[in-house]
């Protein structure tokens, strides 16, 4: 049972381009229950989850993050191999958007509130970072957490002289075990906030603290995390004026995320 009288945390799993799901989730939170985000003692994340966590803790515009994500998906779709094409540099796009859109004092806002999961290359151990001395240092930590080996390149990035890779490889949901942690994940499973499937699922996969169901929709979501389909944005009839449905149209398992 969630206790509003005690401290609580929010934890976000890594999910690549499927982080569009987080845009819908936290747009809803900010509109209907902003105290859940503002009152959280820590907002933690791994990989792309850490990017959303940084947006929420630094005051960066969530709509702008959504625009950047869709722009990166469109850019990747220009190449025959999508994100795997050697001419497409995903983390360079991420860095440019963070340098442009994060507030100048983002490191001050994030320190103590944001927690980023990293995987140390030398021993594979998980490292959680919550203190940032500059905006550039904050960005570098986020880049390290998002660096998926081979997919993002061959040479892992450095933070304080140490090589790190994707935080999801060692701890995909930081602080999941604390009593008052709200877990959020774009894959259906046992997280507090996640897609709910209509079919029964008897098999689960526990990936570094994140529980994911075995089903065809999750399989599609995993593929979409690495290879984004063509995004389209439309305003459906019958919904309030500021509600938008972002639809990934390139498969029989289209995903709809409310923004």
**Could you give the residue numbers annotated as active site?**
47, 166
Is the separation of the CB atoms in 183 and 209 below 8 Å? no
Q: What region, left, alpha or beta, does residue 160 occupy, with left being phi > 0 and alpha being psi -120 to 50 degrees?
A: left
The single residue listed with the structure tokens 């942690």 is 181
Reading the block at residue 178, the tokens are: 């604390």
Most distant CA pair in the chain, distance: 54
CA angle 138, 94, 47 (to 5 degrees): 65
The torsion region of residue 200 among left (phi > 0), alpha (psi -120 to 50) and beta comes to: beta
Q: What are phi and psi of 114, to 5 degrees?
A: -90, 140
Q: For the beta carbon of residue 174, count every other beta carbon within 10 angstroms.
A: 29
Token pair 């005690």 is found at 6
Inter-residue contact 193 to 183 (CB < 8 Å): yes
């Amino acid at each position: 049972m969630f206790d509003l009288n005690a401290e609580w945390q929010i934890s976000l799993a890594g999910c690549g381009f499927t982080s569009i799901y987080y845009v819908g989730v936290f747009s809803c939170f900010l509109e209907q229950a902003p105290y859940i985000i503002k009152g959280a003692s820590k907002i933690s994340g791994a990989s792309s989850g850490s990017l959303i966590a940084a947006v929420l803790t630094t005051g960066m515009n969530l709509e702008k993050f959504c625009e950047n994500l869709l722009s990166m998906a469109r850019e990747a779709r220009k190449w025959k191999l999508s994100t795997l094409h050697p001419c497409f540099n995903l983390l360079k796009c991420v860095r440019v958007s963070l340098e442009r859109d994060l507030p100048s004092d983002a490191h001050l806002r994030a320190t103590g509130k944001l927690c980023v999961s990293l995987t140390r290359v030398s021993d594979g151990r998980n490292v959680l970072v919550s203190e940032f001395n500059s905006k550039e240092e904050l960005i570098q930590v986020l880049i390290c957490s998002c660096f998926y080996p081979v997919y993002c390149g061959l040479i892992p990035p450095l933070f304080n002289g140490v090589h790190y890779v994707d935080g999801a490889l060692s701890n995909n949901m930081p602080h999941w075990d604390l009593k008052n942690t709200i877990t959020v994940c774009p894959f259906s499973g046992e997280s507090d906030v996640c897609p709910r499937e209509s079919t029964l699922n008897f098999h689960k996969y526990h990936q570094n603290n994140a529980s994911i169901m075995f089903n065809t929709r999750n399989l599609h979501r995993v593929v979409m995390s690495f290879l984004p389909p063509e995004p389209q944005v439309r305003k459906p009839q019958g919904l309030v004026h500021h509600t938008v449905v972002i639809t990934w149209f390139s498969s029989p398992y289209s995903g709809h995320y409310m923004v």
